[in-house]
């Protein structure tokens, strides 16, 4: 990933993994139709992840979320803005991009709104990240 290299990160040897723990987290956190209404994440939504990673509309590479490097991929499709986060694990024992969260907003968002959405809870620092708007 060129954007990662531009800010000094090497992802060339990392694999991408989507775990059952991740899926359970997302369904438990963002899958309640009473709480989330039309923004509820359902199990078939996980099928969208490969497209979000390969062809995002926006990406934030090298953000820091809860003390860990992560990437955020944003895909706008059918009036919905998808946010997908993966955590960068680059230790000697674990070298992967591991899925950490997925949620959706039921309207298209512009870059400024996406950045506000991602940083509003102070969990994610994008001050040193590479922000890409893909045309």
pLDDT, residue 120, reads 84
In this structure, the dihedral spanned by the alpha carbons of residues 81, 29, 35 and 107, taken in order and rounded to 10 degrees, is 0
First and final C-alpha spacing in the chain: 17
Model pLDDT for residues 31-55, shown as the tens digit of each residue: 999 999 999 999 999 999 988 888 8
Domain assignment of residue 95, given as a range? 2-6+18-133
In a domain, 11, yes or no: no
SS (H, E, C) 72-112: EEEEEECCEEEEEEEEEEECCCCEEEEEEEEEEECCCCCHH
In a domain, 62, yes or no: yes
In a domain, 12, yes or no: no
In a domain, 13, yes or no: no
pLDDT, residue 135, reads 64
The yes-or-no verdict on residue 57 having pLDDT over 70 is yes
In a domain, 78, yes or no: yes
In a domain, 100, yes or no: yes
The pTM for the full model equals 0.87
The answer to whether the CB of 18 falls within 8 A of the CB of 46 is yes
Q: Report the domain count for the chain.
A: 1
């Amino acid at each position: 990933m060129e954007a990662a290299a531009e800010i000094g990160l090497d992802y060339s040897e990392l694999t991408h993994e989507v775990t059952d723990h991740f899926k359970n987290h997302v369904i438990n956190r963002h899958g309640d139709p009473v709480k989330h209404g039309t923004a509820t994440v359902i199990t078939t939504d996980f099928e969208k992840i490969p497209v979000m990673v390969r062809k995002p509309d926006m990406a934030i590479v090298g953000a820091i979320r809860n003390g860990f490097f992560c990437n955020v991929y944003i895909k706008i499709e059918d009036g919905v803005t998808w946010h997908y986060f993966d955590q960068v694990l680059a230790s000697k024992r674990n070298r992967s991009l591991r899925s950490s969260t997925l949620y959706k907003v039921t309207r298209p968002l512009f870059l400024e709104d996406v950045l506000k959405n991602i940083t509003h809870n102070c969990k994610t620092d994008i001050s040193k990240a590479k922000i890409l708007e893909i045309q």
